[in-house]
């Protein structure tokens, strides 16, 4: 009699995009947390995303790319994540600028970030867009409607206050855990509302 082979560990494969919208901390914390959960990450950062990460967090491109398993240049349309044949489970753009939202909504695929988002949608995989702008104009709202109709999830990083967060880091972490749960990565620990 032989013992059954242990089940293979499934490693989640997540594409993370970072754009120039305010809130680079969301992309950074997401990459850090996905690493602790054993996920494999592909990172694409726009030039404005690098600029903003430097301004908000004092991080340069090398520091950002070190947080991912694999980093791809924005112009590398030949990268593995530009094809639906490459196995990826989900994608998140954190934060997502209104320009990137518009590109996804209209199917431009004009750089690796928007091409990867387009691939995610066409393959019916989960796509989360952490849009950052306020107030919204009609173009923003129509683009959010369009991507929602395509199957994406529009997820503005709005903090929950019912847990009485004591710091910005706690608010960011709570939002990141909710995103990870929506991406379908196991062992996420969002703080659930249990009623009053």
Binding residues for FMN: 20-22, 46, 97-100, 132
Calculate helix-pair angle for 168-183, 24-36, nearest 10 degrees: 60
| Distance linking the first and last C-alpha atoms of the chain | 55
- Specify binding-site residues: 20-22, 46, 97-100, 132, 162, 178
Place of tokens 């950074």: 28
Sheet of strand 90-96, all strands in order from the earlier edge strand to the far edge: 70-72, 40-45, 13-18, 90-96, 126-131, 153-154
- Specify binding-site residues for dimethylallyl phosphate: 162, 178
Q: What angle do CA 111, 116, 119 make, to 5 degrees?
A: 125
């Amino acid at each position: 009699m032989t013992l059954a082979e242990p089940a293979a560990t499934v490693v989640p494969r997540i594409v993370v995009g970072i754009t120039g919208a305010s809130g680079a901390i969301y992309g950074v914390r997401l990459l850090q947390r996905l690493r602790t959960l054993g996920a494999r990450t592909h990172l694409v950062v726009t030039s404005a995303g690098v600029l903003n990460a430097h301004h908000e967090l004092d991080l340069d491109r090398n520091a950002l790319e070190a947080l991912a398993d694999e980093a791809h240049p924005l112009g590398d349309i030949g990268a593995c994540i530009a094809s639906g044949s490459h196995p990826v489970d989900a994608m998140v753009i954190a934060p997502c600028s209104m320009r990137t939202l518009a590109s996804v909504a209209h199917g431009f695929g004009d750089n690796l970030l928007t091409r990867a988002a387009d691939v995610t949608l066409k393959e019916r995989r989960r796509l989360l867009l952490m849009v950052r702008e306020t107030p919204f104009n009609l173009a923003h709202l129509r683009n959010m409607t369009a991507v929602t109709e395509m199957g994406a999830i529009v997820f503005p990083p709005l903090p929950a206050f019912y847990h009485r967060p004591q710091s910005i880091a706690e608010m960011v972490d709570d939002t990141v855990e909710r995103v990870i749960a929506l991406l379908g990565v196991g062992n996420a620990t969002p703080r659930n509302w249990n009623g009053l």
